[in-house]
């Protein structure tokens, strides 16, 4: 089945950007600038869209064939490329995306052909589907679980490993009590908290570049 691997979905979309310019800049350049100004990691708007494993935006200028002889296919428009790997089905995901970050969506897609008709979750889903490219070679680099489940697992794995290192050789009775305290604090069955934040690159939010 195209676009799908287990419970993961690989969405690939190309939305044409209207030719033209504003304030001395091409529409596509303005959009690229807006994308480059988006906050990263926890601050990224896509971190607010539930079940996003990994999303990417870029601008496709032209299609370049880089072999011999090199060839340039000039496209009729430039495209906003939006790809996302997520958990679940497409309609639910896009509806959730609209409901979480529609002011950002409106900003990013503002200059895309036909987007002026989008004013609701439903019309957004329809619009994105029109831009969609069927993806037949989708490799899911994540597990099949929901994002919340995965973030909680990651959190538990790291916290439990800290617990293990801190409790080497602790007498059994004390160890049992400490472990009970650890379980009570870490709440393995409660996905919402405590857990890793979506988009965070470390538990304390520090990113090494």
Partner 1 sequence: METLLDLYDIQGNIMKNYAEAGFVKARYLFFKLNNGDQGRTFVNSVIPFITSSAPWTDGDENADGVLWPEAATNIAFTYNGLKNLGISVQTLQSFPDEFIVGMRGRRTILGDNGPSDPARWDPVWHEEIHIFLSIDAQTDEAVEKRYNQIMDVLTLHQLDKVILLDGHRGNKNEGTKKYQDASVLYESGVPTSKEHFGYTDGISNPFFKGMTADMGELVGGGKKNTKGNLGYGNPELQSTWLPLETGEFILGHKDEALEYPVAPMPPLMAKNGSFMVYRKLHENVGKFNLFLDEKSKNFPGGKELLAAKFVGRWRNGVPITTFPDEKDADELAMKRQKAIQLITLAKTPAEKIEAQAAFREINKKFHAYDYNEDLNGGRCPVGAHTRRANPRGSLEFGNKKAFDSPSAVDNRRRIIRRGLPYGLTEDPAGNDGNHGTIFMSINASIKRQFEFVLQQWINYGNDFKLANDKCPILGNHSELNGKGEGRMVFGSNSITDDPPYFLNELPRFIETRGGEYFFIPSLTALRMIAEGIVDPT
- Give the binding site for partner 1 (CB under 8 A): 164-166, 168-169
Q: How far is the CB of 167 from partner 1 (least distance, A)?
A: 9
Instruction: Find out whether 52 and 148 touch, Cβ atoms under 8 Å.
Output: no
Closest CB to partner 1 among residues 75, 166: 166
The token duo for 60 is 């496709």
Closest CB to partner 1 among residues 189, 209: 209
Give the 3-state secondary structure of residue 139.
Answer: coil
The token duo for 55 is 């999303």
Give the 3-state secondary structure of residue 110.
Answer: coil
Closest residue by Cα to residue 79 from 14, 162, 22: 14
Q: How far is the CB of 202 from partner 1 (least distance, A)?
A: 11
Closest CB to partner 1 among residues 22, 167: 167
Q: How many CB atoms lie within 10 A of CB 196?
A: 21
Closest CB to partner 1 among residues 19, 161: 161
Q: How far is the CB of 56 from partner 1 (least distance, A)?
A: 23
């Amino acid at each position: 089945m195209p676009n799908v691997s287990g419970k993961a979905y690989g969405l690939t979309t190309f939305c044409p950007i209207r030719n033209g310019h504003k304030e001395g800049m091409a529409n596509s350049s303005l959009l690229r600038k807006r994308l480059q100004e988006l906050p990263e990691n926890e601050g990224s708007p896509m971190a607010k869209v539930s079940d996003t494993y990994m999303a990417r935006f870029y601008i496709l200028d032209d299609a370049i064939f880089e072999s011999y002889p090199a060839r340039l296919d000039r496209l009729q428009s430039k495209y906003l490329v939006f790809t996302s790997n997520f958990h679940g089905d497409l309609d639910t995901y896009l509806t959730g995306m609209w409901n979480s970050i529609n002011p950002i969506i409106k900003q990013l897609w503002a200059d895309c052909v036909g987007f002026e008709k989008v004013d609701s979750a439903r019309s957004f889903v329809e619009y994105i589907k029109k831009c969609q490219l069927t993806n037949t070679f989708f490799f899911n680099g994540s597990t099949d679980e929901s994002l919340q489940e995965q973030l909680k697992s990651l959190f538990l794995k790291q916290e439990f490993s800290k617990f293990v290192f801190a409790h080497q050789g602790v007498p059994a009775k004390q160890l049992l009590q400490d472990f009970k305290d650890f379980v009570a604090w870490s709440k393995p069955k409660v996905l919402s908290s405590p857990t890793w934040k979506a988009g965070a690159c470390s538990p304390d939010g520090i990113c090494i570049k």
